[in-house]
Chain A
Amino acid sequence: MAYSDKVVDHYTNPRNIGTLDKSKNTVGTGLVGAPECGDVMRLQIEVNQETGIIEDAKFKTFGCGSAIASSSLATEWLKGKSIDEALKIDNMEIVEELALPPVKIHCSVLAEDAIRSAINDYRAKNGLEPIESEKTHF
């Protein structure tokens, strides 16, 4: 299977690889996927509590090129967004941006789950209710 240029670009030059201090109240961590499924994503956000803006985002991913690219792209998109804006990121936008083939759509779903999970971790740390997903993936 041939990868799109954008997937290759993110794979070769991944943006925002790294680890944020998960003990900080301003940091939300999402860990999704499972080793036996062949992909695990960890996505972290750091939120400015005054403005509610995501000021930093980092990821680490175990998975195929499409999974790495999806999470790398997600961190790029997250930076500078408010929590509400971040929640609007839809997996199909990732599919479109990276030109993922149908067999790789689950990578984008995983990235969306990771964003949501990181936001909910941040909310839980700050005494807020988790946001339920209205979306059901097939």
Chain B
Amino acid sequence: MLKLPVYLDNNATTQVDPRVFEAMTPYFLEAYGNAASKSHPFGWKAEEAVDYAREQIAQLIGGNEKEIIFTSGATESNNLAIKGVFEMYASKGNHIITLSTEHKAVLDTCKHLEKLGADVTYLSVGGDGLVTKEAIEAAIKPNTILVTVMYGNNELGVLQPIREIGALCKSKGVLFHTDATQAVGKIPVDVMADHIDLMSFTAHKMYGPKGVGALYVRRKNPRVKVTAQMDGGGHERGMRSGTLNVPGIVGFGKACEIARLEMAEEGARLQKMRDRLEAALLQLEESYLNGNKTHRLPHTSNISFKYVEGEGLMMGIKDIAVSSGSACTSASLEPSYVLKSLGLDDELAHSSLRFGLGRFTTDEEIDYTIECVSGAVNKLRDMSPLWEMFKEGIDLKTIEWSEH
């Protein structure tokens, strides 16, 4: 039985897997000790659970458990990585390279550092959302201390050439950070093979709880250090003070373990459903896929339906939870900066929907989504003056619009 509404916003957050939830419960009610309490069994039990989770997490990303620094989530991890490197390596330089399509947690952190004297290069991406290794290489200067490039883009799902960028940074002696929030747990990510020095990721994008994330900080070749951004008890090897969120960390560990064991099968299943959804929606006239079709996450699809406004469209599919690049959905009234970075016309940026499938998505839900979205697009086009003009062969660019 189809249960409404259908949740296709798994790039925003995911449902907690019941197995994760079950693993967490004892740490609220029974083993509720502080992992930093060394003098009694409550503390020992908590510490043991945290250590175990650290191993589960490290195993998923090919790192060592000592390289996992727990945080409150990927936003904090990004802040700690970028600000922490900027402070720690100030004597080496002040130049940071990033992309214009990064998450705000990276972009706004970089903007903040510019005020403190950082020199930041914001590289643009190609029409498919990807940056090239060559573009990064050309931007590296003698005072470059950090390259930060996201693994998989949250809006488009496109995967940057991380391994090539990692190898380049290693050869140049520049630290490499990646915001891998959307990628970890969805596709194989290996910090060794990818030459990643610092990596942000979070539990709630992979069926774990909200409020817990991690920063991977390499310990060997090279040994990387970041300056703490919060002062306190010196937890997490002095890099992040604050009492550990034990139940959250236990859930994060369990989520990583499930992801590691089930990723291959799950990825294939999601990709099959995503491709079916996408193929059906791209059959609609004047609908376009945004971002590179090949190099991307298996569960994400971003499609623009030209001449239909995104928020109006979302209202027509009210029983499907998705997100839109439309201006109207955000307080800023600006369409998605990520879509605009691809060089998309405003009307295409306003007309986009992002579909994020997940572990609990069913074929039946995909059938419903295809039917519902197609119906709403057709209905709204019947009432769109732009669609009528397009059908009459009028070039919208020749019209003098009265902006307001």
Any B CB within 8 A of the CB of A6: no
Docked complex Cα distance between A21 and B308 (Å): 23
Residues of B in contact with A (beta carbons under 8 Å apart): 307-312, 315-316, 326-328, 331, 333, 335, 345-347, 350, 380, 382-388, 396, 399, 401-404
Find out whether the CB atom of B404 lies under 8 angstroms from the CB atom of A11.
no
A-B contact count (CB 8 A): 97
Contact A38 B328 (CB under 8 A): yes
Per-position 1/0 for A7-47, Cβ under 8 A of B: 01001001001010000000000011111111111100000
Please name 19 pairs of A and B residues whose Cβ atoms are closer than 8 Å in the assembled complex, sorted by A. A31-B399, A32-B404, A35-B396, A36-B346, A38-B309, A38-B326, A38-B333, A39-B309, A40-B386, A41-B385, A60-B384, A62-B308, A62-B387, A64-B309, A64-B328, A65-B312, A109-B404, A113-B402, A113-B404
**Do B404 and A67 have beta carbons less than 8 Å apart?**
no
* Contact A62:B307 (CB < 8 A) given known A14-B383, A34-B403, A35-B347: yes
A64 touches B312 (CB 8 A): yes
Choose one: A11, A32, A62, A113; the contact of B384 (CB below 8 Å): A62
Quick check: B328 and A68 within 8 Å, CB to CB? no
A63 at interface (Cβ–Cβ under 8 A)? yes
A77 to B312, CA, bound (A): 22
Determine chain A's interface SS by DSSP, over half rule: mixed
**Most chain B CB neighbours (cut-off 10 Å) among A19, A68, A117:** A68
Complex partner residue of B335 from A32, A38, A60, A113, CB under 8 angstroms: A38
In the complex, are the beta carbons of B315 and A62 less than 8 A apart? no
Number of interface residues of A (CB under 8 A): 34
Q: A34 touching B311 by the CB < 8 A rule?
A: no
Known A-B contacts: A34-B404, A35-B347. Give 20 more (CB < 8 A): A17-B383, A32-B402, A33-B401, A34-B401, A34-B403, A36-B346, A38-B326, A38-B333, A38-B350, A40-B386, A40-B401, A60-B383, A62-B308, A63-B311, A64-B315, A64-B326, A65-B312, A65-B315, A110-B404, A117-B402
On chain A, the residues within 8 Å of B404 by CB distance are 32-34, 37, 106, 109-110, 113, 137
Q: A62 to B308, alpha carbons, bound, how many Å? A: 6
Say yes or no: A61 contacts B384, CB within 8 Å.
Answer: yes
Contact between A63 and B401 (Cβ–Cβ < 8 Å)?
Answer: no
Interchain CB contact (< 8 A) of A103 among B331, B387, B388, B401: B331
CB distance from B121 to the nearest CB of A (A): 28
Is A68's CB under 8 angstroms from B312's CB? yes
A54 to B354, CA, bound (A): 43
Cα-based distance from A117 to B385 in the complex (angstroms): 16
Q: Report the separation of the CA atoms of residues A106 and B403 in the bound assembly, to the nearest whole angstrom.
A: 12
* Chain A minimum-CB-distance residue to B386: A62
Chain A residue at minimal CB-CB distance from B307: A62
CA separation between A8 and B318, bound complex, in Å?
11
